[in-house]
Amino acid sequence: MKYSNLYKRNLIYPSEICHVKKSKENMKTRNLGNSGLEVSELGLGCMGLTFGYGPATDEKDAIELITKAYDSGVTFFDTAEAYSQGGNEKLLGKAVKPFRDKIVIATKFGFREGDATKGMDSRPERIRKVAEASLQYLQTDYIDLFYQHRVDPNVPIEEVAGTIQELMKEGKIKHWGLSEASPETIRKAHAVQPVTALQSEYSLWWREPEQAIFPLVEELGIGFVPYSPLGRGFLTGTINADTQFDKTDFRNIVPRFSEENRKANIKLVDLLQNIAKEKEASSAQIALAWLLAQKPWIAPIPGTTKIHRLQENIGASSIQLTTDDLQKIEDTAATISISGERYPENLLKNVGK
């Protein structure tokens, strides 16, 4: 039976469909810029397993999900000190130990005491302390990709880059990157120690990086890693104006997720669902396929706590959007105004520095 017929009979919903193969051979790889760092074109953002979106996932289930991701061809795993003050790194380190040398681990430094609510701290001694702790938590001898989580206005980026350079010479770090940094900061950092990747928010409902960031990273040969590629879950079509988040869920304080703004932003989900029906796919898969079609040096890191969502996301790797598909998305998206800021005011001031 064709999936389109299942839609009509309401037996399943588009977001529940993932009809592509899940083999390792199906997952392609990409190079992050000119660095030579090769990763699966879709990575796994691990934050939500312990932090940000309600109660932590049971450790056994989380390890099973990470292992399933690897078995499905994912070789790019993203974590950070600030995700549960090392707890997320410990979980990831335990999960990937059997295949550590086959994957790329990205983690991050940059917050005071590893707590995003306490402000930035990228002093050289702090960077070193975080690096040593991350190596221990991740049960590894080296970090493949070490990001500055947010730019610290009190520490010159050249000093940060110099410290990273020392850690690289010591073999503790293979590559480094920045997150939510401005073009000026990226240039200054890159001049001291070439930057491998920039990790910033990017999706169909946050496209600002296209304006100044994309031309710059392409010029400098830097890869781009979009976080929240599914709009913190909104683009999957599983969230509506009536959705109730857990009291500890970060989205409760995000303006874009207010009830009023969710009602206004649903038009973008409708666009994705229309394309998804044509492709016999899900909204999430179309949103990810759209990202992959933008640039060859983009590697999104969707996160999830559920294996069936993981498999659905991985299925996006097999979806080919035609020029006509992309133009249709572009034309329709241009008519949709997104409502609400992507961060509350106290966090919004930390991006683009």
Please give the structure tokens belonging to residue 310: 């993981």
CB 142: neighbour CB atoms within 10 A?
16
Whole-angstrom Cα distance, residue 281 to residue 301?
19
List, edge to edge, every strand of the sheet that includes 76-78.
44-45, 76-78, 104-109, 143-148, 173-179, 197-201, 223-227
At which residue do the structure tokens 């975080």 appear?
A: 130
- Please write the tens of the pLDDT for every residue from 213-242: 999 999 999 999 999 999 999 999 999 989
- Specify the CATH number of the domain 3-348: 3.20.20.100
Alpha helices for the chain (secondary structure H) = 3-9, 59-71, 87-96, 124-137, 157-169, 183-192, 209-220, 259-279, 283-294, 307-314, 323-333, 345-348
Q: Which of 83, 137, 147, 227 is catalytic?
A: 83
Residue type, position 76, single letter:
F
Cβ pair 236, 283 in contact under 8 A: yes
> What value does the mean pLDDT take over residues 154-170?
98
Q: What is the pLDDT of residue 43?
A: 98
- Please write the tens of the pLDDT for every residue from 7-47: 332 333 333 333 333 435 479 999 999 999 999 999 999 99
In the chain, domain spans: 3-348
> Band of the pLDDT at 303, cuts 50, 70, 90?
very high
Whole-angstrom Cα distance, residue 145 to residue 162?
16
User: Looking at 19-28, 172-181, 194-203, 273-282, which range is the least confident one?
Assistant: 19-28
Percent of the chain predicted with pLDDT > 90? 88
Q: What is the pLDDT of residue 263?
A: 93
User: Active-site residue 202, yes or no?
Assistant: no
Q: What is the pLDDT of residue 131?
A: 98
327 burial type by CB count under 10 A (0-12 exposed, 13-18 middle, 19+ buried): exposed
Report which of 186, 202, 205 is spatially closest to residue 194, judged by C-alpha positions.
186
Report which of 149, 153, 156, 147 is spatially closest to residue 124, judged by C-alpha positions.
156
